[in-house]
């Protein structure tokens, strides 16, 4: 029997961003130079396939530093960033740390610290409990940041009297953030913001690609990503807001190709922490049921690459020599 036809639109860009690529390379390079184990505080990025792959190579994932013995092994901070208290504790214990925080998140940290130093209270647009938000709020003393999660909260938030500044989580919906910010700026006309928006280029590009696929006729958008990945969930929301049905799946094993029945055009994208291999696996699964006509929908070309920490760019040093120097 002939397979039904299906147009499959592939979002470009999709998948790994420069920050995620850098974070993974930091763990891999630490393992290559110093062997296993290399400890990683929290998931290096929000994707179980990436985490399981690194675990298989010798990475040990922990929730907090108190789970790590004082054995001098490398300790990597995840791409989402950490509160200053974590850095302080690592210094107290003289840990050999490698900071895999995305440089764009580090920029937000520095902005928040700069505003605080100038006497401004920070309004942070983001989601409570997300590791990036925890890390950003943890850059300042308690009470220095007020979190705003929605337009409803923006309408009622009551920050302390005095000058205000705003910043945002880097993986939010561009449109939703703009709506929240508009309310805040209307209520607080002297609100100071960053010179350039904090939502990262990769988040913006991936959301724009989803909108472009829906504009080209995709009535179903498949997003490859983890359910606890903020940027992946935002891609699903953007697709639905644009008028398509959206599904968020972790890998090809979760894809029932029959869900594309009745759709002439389907869009496929991946969150910033999802490997391209999962996208290709999704394509193969769909090809088992449909005669695919594949087209890439490109909205931007990404050529950004972030450098590794200096400790990994320098000539390799043995772990023993580092430990002796610390002693």
- CATH code of the region 18-102: 3.40.50.11270
- In this chain, the answer to whether the domains covering 5-16+201-298 and 18-102 adopt an identical fold is no
Q: Out of 89, 132, 302, 313, which one is annotated catalytic?
A: 132
User: How many residues are listed for the chain in this entry?
Assistant: 327
Burial 183-196 (b: 16+ CB within 10 A, else e): bbeeebeebebbee
- CATH code of the region 5-16+201-298: 3.40.1010.20
Map out the domains of the chain as residue ranges: 5-16+201-298, 18-102, 104-187
- Nearest C-alpha neighbor of 157 from the set 169, 167, 145, 140: 145
**Residue 316 confidence (pLDDT):** 59
Phi, psi values for residue 251, rounded to 5°: -165, 175
Q: Which fold has domain 104-187?
A: Cobalt-precorrin-4 Transmethylase; domain 1 (3.40.1010)
Determine if the pTM surpasses 0.85: yes
**Residue 321 confidence (pLDDT):** 33
Q: Strand 145-148's sheet: what is its strand order? A: 145-148, 121-125, 164-168
Instruction: Report DSSP state, residue 216.
Output: T
Helix (H, G, I), strand (E, B) or coil at 117: helix
Per-residue pLDDT of the chain (327 residues; tens, 9 = 90+): 689 999 999 999 999 999 999 999 999 999 999 999 999 999 999 999 999 999 999 999 999 999 999 999 999 999 999 999 999 999 999 999 999 999 999 999 999 999 999 999 999 999 999 999 999 999 999 999 999 999 999 999 999 999 999 999 999 989 999 999 999 999 999 999 987 777 899 999 999 999 999 999 999 999 999 999 999 999 999 999 999 999 999 999 999 999 999 999 999 999 999 999 999 999 999 999 999 999 999 999 999 999 999 999 765 544 433 332 232
132 is catalytic: yes
**Residue 194 confidence (pLDDT):** 87
**Residue 199 confidence (pLDDT):** 80
Q: Strand 5-12's sheet: what is its strand order? A: 245-249, 220-224, 265-270, 5-12, 291-298
């Amino acid at each position: 029997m002939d397979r039904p036809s299906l147009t499959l639109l592939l979002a470009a860009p999709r998948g790994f961003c420069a920050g995620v690529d850098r974070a993974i390379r930091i763990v891999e390079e630490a393992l290559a130079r110093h062997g296993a184990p290399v400890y990683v505080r929290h998931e290096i990025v929000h994707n179980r396939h990436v985490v399981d792959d690194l675990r298989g190579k010798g990475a040990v994932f922990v929730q907090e530093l108190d789970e790590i013995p004082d054995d001098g092994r490398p300790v990597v901070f995840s791409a989402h960033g950490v509160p200053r208290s974590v850095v302080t504790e690592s210094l107290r214990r003289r840990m050999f740390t490698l900071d895999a925080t995305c440089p764009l998140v580090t920029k937000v940290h520095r902005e928040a610290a700069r505003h605080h130093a100038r006497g401004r209270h920070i309004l942070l647009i983001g989601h409570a409990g997300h590791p990036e938000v925890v890390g950003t709020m943890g850059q300042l003393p308690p009470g220095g940041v007020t979190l705003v999660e929605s337009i409803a909260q923006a309408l009622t938030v009551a920050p302390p009297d005095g000058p205000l500044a705003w910043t945002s989580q880097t993986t939010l919906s561009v449109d939703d953030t703009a709506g929240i910010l508009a309310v805040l700026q209307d209520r607080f006309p002297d609100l100071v913001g960053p010179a350039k928006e904090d939502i990262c280029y990769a988040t913006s590009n991936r959301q724009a690609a989803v909108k472009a696929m829906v504009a080209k006729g995709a009535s179903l958008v498949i997003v490859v990503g983890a359910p606890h990945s903020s940027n992946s969930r935002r891609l699903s929301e953007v697709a639905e807001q644009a008028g398509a049905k959206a599904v968020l799946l972790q890998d090809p094993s979760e894809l029932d190709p029959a869900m594309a029945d009745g759709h002439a055009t389907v869009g496929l994208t991946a969150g910033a922490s999802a490997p391209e291999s999962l996208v290709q696996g999704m394509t193969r699964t769909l090809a088992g049921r449909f005669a695919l006509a594949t087209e890439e929908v490109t909205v931007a070309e990404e050529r950004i690459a972030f450098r590794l920490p200096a400790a990994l760019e320098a000539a390799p040093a043995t772990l023993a020599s580092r430990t002796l120097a610390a002693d």
